[in-house]
A = this chain, B = another copy of it.
Amino acid sequence: MKKVNVVVVGATGAVGQEILNILDERSFPINNLKLCATSRSAGTEIEFRGQKYVVEETTPDSFTDMDIALFAGGKASLEFGPAAVERGCVVIDNSSNYRMDPEVPLVVPEVNPEDVTWHKGIIANPNCSTIIMVVALKPIHDAAGIKRVVVSTYQAVSGAGKEGIEELTEQVKAVLDGREYPPKKFAHQIAFNLIPHIDVFQDMDYTKEEWKMVKETRKIMHDNNIQVTATTVRVPVYRSHSESINIETERKLTAARAREILAQAPGVIVQDDVANNVYPMPLFTSHRDEVFVGRIREDNTIDNGLNLWVVGDQIRKGAATNAVQIAELLLKYDCLMEKK
């Protein structure tokens, strides 16, 4: 297989580190690897496949002779994405900067792999909660046509990066010791609490996270008729986002049939044996690449209703794994860019 030159931008963060793990695990065919980050993190040493790399500060020239740039998140892709594209390097961007740009494909490989082929240099990786949801929704949509989704999320603190993880640990210790530990990363105490507020508030008092689940789902599924309403909540769990999803379909799908369809769907593992207390839980789905689906039940309050409980590792499938899968599709469909 052809080997390519890969640059990871934001290599020192939680998602960046996971991208490196996954490139290695999946034996991604790398010729030259470059690790970049902000000046603050430049100089850090990171080992990859037995070799040490020194993290460089990202500059426009970081992308010269590179084929694929994996941007872990944040504002870097706004600043350096166009420079990378100018140099013939395809950008796979985990931030929300370009997701709703009609010129930019928004791709979940299990759902809309072909969309990578029409990229103009940038491909966006969707929001983590959205990725996890659409992997479970796609097979249902294909089988019965989804009209409406009501989703409530239970999102892990690592969605807020390493600082989110540290805040939960230190705050839990403080609470147990009777000490104060004021919130820093989150708006309120997260230890032994729930915060129904992720990202900033926008139109109609929905959060940006909630709107992402509405808008990105339609774009990924190529169906502007799918109605989605979301309530997103931070919970004191380290890793893996969970979602309670109520679905109304055009055509009837029994729970048994939904279970069969989901069991055969790419990237999905069905865990649904309630007689033996088997259902997905974030503690046991972390560090996995699949989306786990359980509590599959018909909802008889409407003609064609289904309830699902869906859990997935939002740092892996919700971010890093999905990005690396997109890179694999670029090779599969042979749609890298010509160097200028």
Contacts and interface: CB of A to CB of B under 8 A. Distances in A.
B192 A238 contact: yes
A302 B227 contact: yes
A44 B54 CA distance: 67
Contact of A150 (B150, B193, B255): B150
A237 B192 CA distance: 4
Most buried by B among A187, A195, A235, A238: A235
A236 B236 contact: yes
Given A176-B172, A237-B192, A231 B307 contact: yes
Contacts of A205: 255, 272, 274, 295-297
B206 A302 contact: no
A201 B275 contact: yes
A209 interface: no
Most buried by B among A187, A244, A272, A309: A244
Interface stretch (A63-71, A124-132, A262-270, A277-285): A277-285
A148 B295 CA distance: 20
Given A154-B154, A201-B275, A229 B194 contact: no
B294 A229 contact: no
A298 B233 contact: no
A49 B228 CA distance: 53
| Total identical chains | 2
A301 interface: yes
Contacts of A301: 148, 150, 227-229
A1 interface: no
A298 B204 CA distance: 7
Contact of A305 (B176, B188, B189, B229): B229
A21 interface: no
Given A172-B176, A205-B272, A246-B246, 20 more contacts: A148-B302, A154-B233, A154-B235, A168-B192, A188-B283, A192-B236, A192-B237, A194-B235, A194-B237, A194-B281, A195-B281, A196-B295, A196-B309, A197-B277, A205-B296, A227-B301, A229-B246, A231-B307, A233-B242, A235-B236
State the 10 A-B residue pairs at the shortest beta-carbon distance, nearest first.
Answer: A227-B301, A152-B244, A193-B283, A152-B152, A201-B274, A231-B244, A229-B299, A150-B246, A187-B277, A150-B150
